[in-house]
């Protein structure tokens, strides 16, 4: 079962606009890029921060159309955004994700946690394209300590969630608001007063793929025709109720339950997924308890792929958390918020106020 964090909602929104002929290119205000390791997602945003058009490709920083030294980043950028920029050559461009890593187009050094949106703006790094445009690259966040932690791209999504109109009531308690970003490297961030205070990373998705594809556990597995929720929740339950010895002591049950006829081959992938997500949440619960908090009864927000977030909602319910809300369009909202805070574009309410003042003056 894939544990990717990709969301297709923005692209669907843009395709719907194209189908109805409602794209108004004259309203274009910003090119926003979500540029990761394996994929590039480009959004054309209007003066209110809504998606006018979108383009997705596999041209992540490790999969450029040609080597970086031979203009690979420029080629990928032009393929994704060239048509927009031909029509509007002066549009500002803001980018987040691994494009700002040491292997990216230009390295944007991490800013230290606690970090707010202003910290990200202050850390923006600029790179010139072959077109002569400037791309503004958002930095990631570094949590220092004996076991340092980093995020790059997720910080933008978090600030997009904080800016979303449909916020969750009573999401924050004395321990701060909890925001989860399921995926290959799942993140759980504690946010207080608009700042990312601390966060935790769980390599759940990557470990799932490695165990399924490169260990003996995968030898008895068969891909299910559709997700098996019962097998998934069985794995979550094992992790929660019988996993005190840790994940290494329970993952072999994926094989032994199959060998003893208690788990069908096509149930094993979902069982393993539930087992790993269950251990992730058990680990998160242990961290929260040390901070005088708990998942039980907590309201929180999830950012990521709809299907994967729904799995996490089911798993969280097993830990007593029944108020997990999915945030839509967090990436676009975050890039827009950073662009407006940096002054690359004017916030919609600012423009509305200026327009009203102009009408009053007339």
pLDDT interval class at 313 (50, 70, 90): very high
| 225 shares a domain with 136 | no
- Identify the pLDDT of residue 176: 84
- Identify the pLDDT of residue 8: 45
| 143 shares a domain with 209 | no
Q: What are phi and psi of 81, to 5 degrees?
A: -125, -5
Q: What is the pTM of this model?
A: 0.87
- Identify the pLDDT of residue 164: 75
**SS in 3 state form for the chain?**
CCCCCCCCHHHHHHHHHHHCCCCCHHHEEEEEEEECCCCEEEEEEECCCCEEEEEEECCCCCCCCCCHHHCHHHHHHHHHHHHHHHHCCCCCEEEECHHHCCCCCCCCCCEECCECHHHHHHCCEEEECCCCCEEEECCCEEECCCCCEEECCHHHHHHHHHHCCCCCCCCCCCCCEEEEECCCCEEEEEEECCEEEEEEEECHHHHHHHHHHHCHHHHHCCCCCCCCHHHHHHHHHHHHHHCCCCHHHCCCHHHHHHHCCCCCCCCHHHHHHHHHHHHHHHHHHHHHHHCCCCCCCCEEEEECCHHHHHHHHHHHHHCCCCEEEEECCHHHHHHHHHHHHHCCCCCHHHHHHHHHHHHHHC
pLDDT in tens, 225-252: 999 999 999 999 999 999 899 999 999 9
| 308 shares a domain with 269 | yes
| 40 shares a domain with 158 | yes
| 347 shares a domain with 287 | no
Total count of domains within the chain: 2
| 244 shares a domain with 99 | no
C-alpha of 204 from chain center: 14
* 169 pLDDT higher than 80: no
pLDDT interval class at 119 (50, 70, 90): very high
Mean pLDDT, rounded, of the chain: 89
| 343 shares a domain with 305 | no
| 317 shares a domain with 276 | yes
44-58: string of b/e by CB count within 10 Å (b at 16+)? bbbbebbbbbbbbee
| 315 shares a domain with 220 | yes
- Identify the pLDDT of residue 24: 67
Instruction: State the CATH number of the domain containing residue 31.
Output: 3.30.420.300
pLDDT interval class at 23 (50, 70, 90): low
* 186 pLDDT higher than 50: yes
**What percentage of residues in the chain have a pLDDT greater than 70?**
86
| 142 shares a domain with 21 | yes
In a domain, 179, yes or no: no
| 146 shares a domain with 125 | yes
Q: What is the mean pLDDT of residues 145-165?
A: 94
């Amino acid at each position: 079962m894939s544990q990717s964090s990709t969301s297709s909602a923005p692209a669907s929104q843009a395709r719907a606009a194209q189908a109805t002929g409602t794209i108004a290119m004259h309203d274009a205000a910003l090119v926003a890029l979500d540029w990761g390791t394996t994929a590039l997602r480009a959004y054309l945003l209007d003066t209110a921060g809504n998606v006018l058009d979108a383009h997705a490709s596999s041209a992540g920083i490790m999969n450029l159309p040609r080597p970086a030294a031979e203009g690979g980043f420029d080629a990928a950028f032009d393929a994704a955004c060239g048509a927009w920029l031909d029509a509007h050559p002066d549009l500002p461009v803001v980018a987040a994700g691994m494009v700002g890593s040491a292997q990216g187009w230009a390295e944007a050094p991490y800013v230290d946690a606690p970090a707010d949106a202003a910290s990200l703006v202050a850390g923006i790094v600029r790179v010139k394209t072959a077109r002569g445009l400037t791309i503004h690259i958002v930095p990631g966040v570094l949590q220092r300590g004996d076991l340092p932690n980093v995020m790059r791209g997720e910080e933008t999504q978090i600030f997009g969630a904080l800016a979303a109109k449909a916020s969750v009531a009573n999401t924050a308690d004395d321990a701060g608001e909890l925001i989860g970003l399921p995926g290959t490297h799942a993140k759980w961030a504690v946010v207080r007063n608009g700042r990312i205070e601390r966060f935790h990373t769980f390599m759940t998705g990557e470990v799932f793929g490695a165990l399924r594809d490169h260990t003996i556990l995968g030898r008895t597995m068969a891909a299910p025709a559709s997700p098996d929720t019962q097998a998934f929740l069985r794995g979550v339950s094992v992790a929660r109720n019988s996993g005190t010895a840790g994940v290494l002591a329970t993952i072999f049950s994926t094989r032994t339950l199959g060998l003893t006829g208690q788990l069908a081959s096509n149930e094993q992938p979902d069982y393993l997924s539930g087992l790993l997500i269950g251990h992730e949440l058990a680990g998160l619960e242990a961290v929260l308890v040390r901070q005088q908090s708990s998942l039980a009864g907590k309201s929180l927000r999830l950012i990521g792929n709809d299907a994967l977030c729904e799995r996490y909602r089911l798993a969280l319910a097993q830990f007593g958390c029944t108020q997990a809300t999915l945030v839509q369009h967090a990436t676009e909202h975050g890039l827009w918020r950073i662009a407006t805070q940096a002054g690359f574009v004017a916030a919609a309410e600012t423009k509305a106020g200026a327009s009203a003042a102009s009408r009053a003056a007339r």
